[in-house]
Chains A and B, each alone.
Chain A
Amino acid sequence: DAGVIQSPRHEVTEMGQEVTLRCKPISGHNSLFWYRQTMMRGLELLIYFNNNVPIDDSGMPEDRFSAKMPNASFSTLKIQPSEPRDSAVYFCASGGYNEQFFGPGTRLTVL
């Protein structure tokens, strides 16, 4: 099993540009989570899906952030327009009940 796959691993963009982060969860897992990690705020849950349906998006910071899960094997997190304060490491995790397995993360830098 390849584990959770995220792409790109690093993204550098300029303020105002659209950014799309991608995630392939572990096959068979029915839950998918998007987290953001910063030095100031630690690891924060942004949104999670269960069986491809968004269940809790209360952690999404504002309307500039959107997430989709069109099928069981793919999810995207989009930021439009991006701002410097969005710079962070974004993790995708997948799991079943009581376990979450994290991907390697995407380090986003917004200049």
Chain B
Amino acid sequence: EDQVTQSPEALRLQEGESSSLNCSYTVSGLRGLFWYRQDPGKGPEFLFTLYSAGEEKEKERLKATLTKKESFLHITAPKPEDSATYLCAVETSGSRLTFGEGTQLTVNP
């Protein structure tokens, strides 16, 4: 059974304090790893897709990296508007995504 584990469950940062979120996975055959951002009361918003170990993608203050067992979402000099829940998901067969529980990030001004 495919498993996705995200850590930490919650993270509080001061504005400008860089950090990383972790997504570890156990799957039979990875076709893609996805990162989403979810704000309260809204649907998840697509951020990145990573396909192979060693791949990196960046968007503003966010950078996602992938290894054979885990992915990291690095947040550089975060701002309060980066506060959200960040979800990781893996695609194995077809278009089926299995999501992790998410990391709730709070950035204080």
A residues contacting B by CB (< 8 A) are: 4, 31, 33, 42-45, 48, 50, 55-56, 91, 93, 95, 97-105
Question: What residues of B have a CB within 8 angstroms of the CB of A56 in the complex?
Answer: 94, 96
Given contacts A43-B87, A99-B49, contact A31 B95 (CB under 8 A): yes
Interface size class on chain B is 20 to 34
* Cβ contacts A to B, 5 pairs, < 8 Å: A33-B97, A98-B32, A100-B46, A104-B42, A105-B43
A102 to B47, CA, bound (A): 12
Residues of A within 8 A of B42 (CB): 104-105
The yes or no answer to B78 lying at the interface (CB within 8 A) is: no
Complex interface bits, B78-90 against A, C-beta within 8 A gives 1, otherwise 0: 0000000001010
Secondary structure at the A interface, as helix, strand, loop or mixed, is strand
Check: B45 CB closer than 8 A to any chain A CB.
yes
Structural contact, A50 and B95, CB atoms closer than 8 A: yes
Question: Given contacts A91-B43, A93-B43, A105-B43, are A100 and B100 in contact (CB under 8 A)?
Answer: no
A73 to chain B, nearest CB (A): 19
- In the bound complex, residues from chain B placing their C-beta under 8 Å from that of A102 are 36, 43-46
Nearest chain A CB to B57 CB, angstrom units: 12
Residue on B nearest A97 in the bound complex, by CB: B95
Question: B33-56 CB contact bits vs A (8 Å, 1 = yes)?
Answer: 010100001111110010000000
In the complex, A101→B38 CA distance in Å?
Answer: 12
Given the complex of chains A and B, what is the CA–CA distance between A31 and B97 in angstroms? 13
Interchain CB contact under 8 A, B94 and A55: yes
What string of 1s and 0s marks CB contacts (under 8 Å) between B10-34 and chain A?
Answer: 0000000000000000000000101
**Residues of chain A lying within 8 A (CB to CB) of residue B44:** 43, 91, 102
* Contact across chains for B96 and A45 when beta carbons are under 8 A apart: yes
